[in-house]
Amino acid sequence: MDYKNSNTLPMSKKRYTKQDKINNYRKKYANIRHQYYAMCDKYSSYNKTMLTFTIPSKINNAIIQGKYSKTAYLVELRTYIAKQFNNANSEIKCFSNIELGSKRNNPHAHIQVWCNDYDEVYNIYQKTISKFNLNKSRCKMTLPEYDNKNYDYVIKDYKKDISDVEIWANENAKKCIRKHLGKQVRFYNMSKDKYSQHLYKFVYRLYNKFRLFANDFIDCLASIFKGVSADELVVIRELKSKLVDILEQELNRCYELCYDIKKATYHIQKLICYWIYGFI
């Protein structure tokens, strides 16, 4: 084996280059954009507003200086406002991002909000300013100047045309903050959806169902098992184990016929899942 050529190294020993890491960051950014635009589509009929919170240098005679202290303060603020949204009388959904500023030393939070009641959001906004002793002149609740489904200012850190230099600088700055605070700070966040991220990815990968339509699809899937007894579930599991044997036999047959294995696996798994869940 040629250990001088990184392409021939085992995965456990292969070193990722700077460009490899940047490419991975780009994939992560693409996923963040997808999640944001999925929310835009889902809540396009709701009222929209943007909340901005900036931390002053001094609060209650205590000095709040530096990006580390301000980021920690913003994380606490964001957790608080998310709880307020969850406990609101009307439905409020949000996507938030803690930005570090052009020089990456001035953290502030942008929160894109979808709501049915502006007044309730405004009351929560004012309550948050009061609780965290913020300067009202440095915080904003902005209403859209024109009707648009997507107001993507909140995800400008993850824009598609961001340069490699910006990505590298942003991610290194975030890494330093996480290390200093001693915890895994998530700079972007969003309202929880009905099901887990893992389940949405599974449904998209196997059934090609986008998040916008995934909830109805999963609801239908779950309804099949409502009221099913433990004995009946055992029968289903046994049926699935038998189908695994069928899958292996089909794969061997496809291999003998020189079909593409990955493609054959995908289609057979899809067929089996449709069979198990009663769609065919």
Q: Give the N- to C-terminal CA distance of the chain in Å, as an integer.
A: 50
Residue 78: the pLDDT is: 94
- Cα–Cα distance measured from residue 66 to residue 107, given in angstroms and rounded to the nearest whole number: 9
When comparing pLDDT for 125 and 230, which is higher? 125
Least trusted range by pLDDT, from 163-167, 185-189, 258-262 = 258-262
Quick one: pLDDT at residue 129? 94
Higher pLDDT: 237 or 201? It is: 201
Lowest mean pLDDT among 96-110, 111-125, 226-240: 226-240
134, pLDDT greater than 50:
yes
110 domain residue, yes or no:
yes
- Residues 160 and 213 placed together within one structural domain of the fold: no
Residue 143 lies in a domain: yes
Does the pLDDT of residue 5 top 90, yes or no? no
pLDDT value at residue 66 = 77
Identify the bridge partners of residue 53 per DSSP, sorted by sequence position: 109
* Residue recorded with tokens 């289903």: 236
- Among the candidates 171, 192, 213, a domain finishes at 192
- Distance in angstroms (rounded) separating the CA atoms of residues 255 and 203: 27
Cβ(16)–Cβ(7) below 8 Å:
no
Whether 99 and 21 have beta carbons less than 8 Å apart is answered as no
Calpha distance 270→263 (Å, rounded): 11
- Cβ of 258: how many Cβ atoms within 10 Å? 7
Say if residue 19 is in the same domain as residue 144: yes
Residue 7, domain member (yes or no): no
Residue 3 has pLDDT above 50, yes or no: no
Mapped onto helix, strand or coil, the DSSP state of residue 210 is: coil
User: Helices 211-223 and 18-42 sit at what angle, rounded to 10 degrees?
Assistant: 70
Residue 28's pLDDT is what? 94
CA nearest to 212, candidates 48, 31, 44, 30: 44
**189: number of Cβ within 10 Å:** 17
Answer yes or no: is pLDDT of 168 > 50.
yes
Instruction: Check: pTM over 0.75? Answer yes or no.
Output: no
Residues 36 and 115 reside in one and the same domain: yes
The predicted-structure confidence for 18-28, as pLDDT tens digits, reads as follows 999 999 999 99
Reported as a single tens digit per residue, the pLDDT across 6-64 is 555 454 556 779 999 999 999 999 999 988 998 888 888 899 999 999 988 766 555 55
Query: Domain ends where: 172, 192, 212?
Result: 192
Q: Which residues lie closer than 8 Å to 42 by C-beta, 6 or more apart?
A: 211, 212
> Does 197 fall in a domain?
no
- Looking at residue 183, its amino acid is K
Same domain, 220 and 171: no
Nearest alpha carbon to residue 39 among 92, 99, 89: 92
- pLDDT at site 20: 92
130 in the same domain as 59:
yes
pLDDT digits 0-9 by tens, 143-160: 887 666 667 889 999 999
User: CB atoms < 10 A from the CB of 126, how many?
Assistant: 13
The verdict on 158 and 72 lying in the same domain is: yes
Residue closest to 55 by CA, chosen among 2, 87, 100: 100
Q: What is the percent of the chain with per-residue pLDDT over 90, rounded to a whole number?
A: 40
Those residues whose C-beta lies under 8 Å from the C-beta of residue 158, and which sit 6 or more positions away, are 29, 32, 33, 188
Q: How many domains does the chain have?
A: 2
CB-based burial of residue 113 (10 Å sphere; 0-12 exposed, 13-18 middle, 19+ buried)? Answer: buried
Look over the chain and give the mean of its residue pLDDT values, rounded to a whole number: 78
Over range 177-198, report the average pLDDT.
84
Domain span holding position 62: 14-192
